Amino acid sequence: MIIDRNSPIPQYFQLQTWLIEQIEQGVFKPSDKIPTEEELVRITGLARATVRQAVQNLVNMGYLSRQRRLGTFVINRAVNIDKRTIVGILVPDIRSGYAPELARGAEDEAAKNRHSLILCSTDDLFVKANYQADRLIENGVNGIIFVPTAASDVKNCLIVEKFARKNIPVVLADRTIPNLEVDYVTTDNFQGAYGLTEYLIHKGHRKIAIALSTLFSTERQRLEGYQKALSYHHIPLDPSLIFTNTDPYQEKQYLGYARAIFRHSKKATAIFAGHDRIAYLFYSIAQELGISIPHAVSLVGYDDLPFTHSHPVSLTTVHQPIYEMGQQSMKRIMSRIRGENGESLGIILKSYLVERSSVLPLKQPIQGIKNKSLKRHIHFALLCAICSG
């Protein structure tokens, strides 16, 4: 069956995909005439306008050529191949989160070197990524920058393998796929989360809640960094303060986590939100419940998105070099396009803490004294003075 009427993929796109397959498999050879629009309507059951759109797209893409009064013919792409360098980039959502900054870094690097970029949103869905992958292949891309979707590693591997079968190199950006031999550019999420948790500990916090999804490699590493920091400072891990799931980001789920944490009998003194959007959901629930941040509970995020410093309570967070990630991803894919071989390369960029106003210290350290032994003597003297008084 050429057309699946129950599929979410547009019918014109299904037809043009079928025609491309016939061309690539040699059913329609260079200089062959393909069926007329009337014949394709009869074969597929599609409306003539839908058939015309699919055929015209293939003309625009260089697969077919119309000849007046003679018909539509297959072009010999071996001698008509487009020599431009085109890179496709697949991101979760070009309107929100870190994706716009990532895409801008890649686009600026591409423009600087006179390369073209095709930007596609996947909405973090495998089926949408699969559709966009087919579209990019048909547009003759030379390389791909891919942020894996909120699907299983197996499904994300299928996207990478689809490009590999066409000898199109892929660089993963931000999220990685375990045990897959492919280039990637990400940040040190483990160390970033470790440092952020340690920052809270140094501020006197011991009951630190965390909320994130373990679906993504980035947030799994942040959870590991949080756990390691607690362990290093001999703070018992409290499972009742860990709120994780294996789902894509959903506001409703995190709003529920926020209410649960704020009403917890062992109330957390600080909350580590897996990323900044989660943090601001927590802030909204705190306002709803009349809980003051940071005076009642401290709150930190991760990513340092543009809105994090424009709120009345600006968010302490970890800055990720997202723009640089886009740049480095583009540089890496261009190296592969130019023919660089060898083992896959992982590039890990450094993040850093951005301290703002959403964390309140629970204890005030003695300022200006670096000698730890002297600090202990002063604390002991103060204690004796209090007891004797």
CATH topology of domain 189-320: Rossmann fold (3.40.50)
pLDDT(386) > 50: no
1 Cβ contact list (under 8 Å, min separation 6): none
In angstroms and rounded to an integer, the radius of gyration of the C-alpha atoms of the chain is: 27
Distance separating alpha carbons of residues 185 and 120, to the nearest angstrom: 19
> Domain 11-80 belongs to what architecture?
Orthogonal Bundle (1.10)
pLDDT of res. 84: 66
pLDDT(383) > 70: no
Task: Read off the tokens for 317.
Answer: 């967070």
189-320 matches 86-187 in CATH topology: yes
pLDDT of res. 387: 42
Burial class for 97, CB neighbours closer than 10 Å (0-12, 13-18, 19+): buried
Region of 319 on the Ramachandran plot (φ > 0 left; ψ -120 to 50 alpha; else beta): beta
Nearest to 181 by CA among 164, 203, 201: 164
pLDDT of res. 230: 98
pLDDT of res. 97: 82
| pLDDT, mean over the chain | 88
């393909």: which residue's tokens?
34
Q: What are the pLDDT digits (tens) for 245-300?
A: 999 889 999 999 999 999 885 689 999 999 999 999 999 999 999 999 999 999 99
Rounded mean pLDDT, 185-201: 98
Sign of the CA dihedral with 90 first, then 93, 99, and 105 last: positive
Q: What are the pLDDT digits (tens) for 9-19?
A: 888 888 988 99
pLDDT of res. 13: 86
Distance separating alpha carbons of residues 22 and 154, to the nearest angstrom: 28
Distance separating alpha carbons of residues 184 and 220, to the nearest angstrom: 17
Q: From residue 77, give the alpha-carbon distance in Å to each of 80, 120, 203.
A: 5, 25, 64
pLDDT of res. 377: 40
Cβ pair 112, 82 in contact under 8 A: no
pLDDT of res. 94: 87
Domain ranges for the chain, please list them: 11-80, 86-187, 189-320
Could you tell me which residues are beta bridge partners of residue 215?
A: none
Name the DSSP letter for residue 236.
P
Which stretches within 61-211 are classed as H helix? 77-80, 99-112, 126-138, 153-165, 189-202
pLDDT(389) > 60: no
Cβ pair 260, 232 in contact under 8 A: no
Q: What are the pLDDT digits (tens) for 108-129?
A: 999 888 788 999 999 999 999 9
Better-scored residue on pLDDT, 309 or 174: 174
pLDDT of res. 305: 86
pLDDT(81) > 70: no
pLDDT of res. 80: 45
Element (H, E) at 273: strand 270-273
pTM, two decimals, is 0.71
pLDDT of res. 2: 81
pLDDT of res. 334: 94
Q: Helix-strand-coil percent breakdown of the chain, rounded to 5?
A: 45, 15, 40
Q: What are the pLDDT digits (tens) for 53-79?
A: 999 888 877 788 888 889 999 987 655
Q: What are the pLDDT digits (tens) for 309-366?
A: 656 679 999 999 999 999 999 999 999 998 888 899 999 999 999 999 999 999 644 3
Share of the chain above pLDDT 90, in %: 70
pLDDT(30) > 50: yes
pLDDT of res. 336: 94
Distance separating alpha carbons of residues 329 and 289, to the nearest angstrom: 43
Q: Residue 169: is the preceding peptide bond cis (ω within 30°)? A: no
State the DSSP string of 249-269. Answer: --HHHHHHHHHHHHT-SS--S
Distance separating alpha carbons of residues 222 and 214, to the nearest angstrom: 9
Which stretches within the chain are classed as H helix? 11-24, 37-44, 48-60, 77-80, 99-112, 126-138, 153-165, 189-202, 217-232, 251-262, 276-289, 322-337, 372-388
Distance separating alpha carbons of residues 239 and 344, to the nearest angstrom: 37
Which CATH code fits 86-187?
Answer: 3.40.50.2300
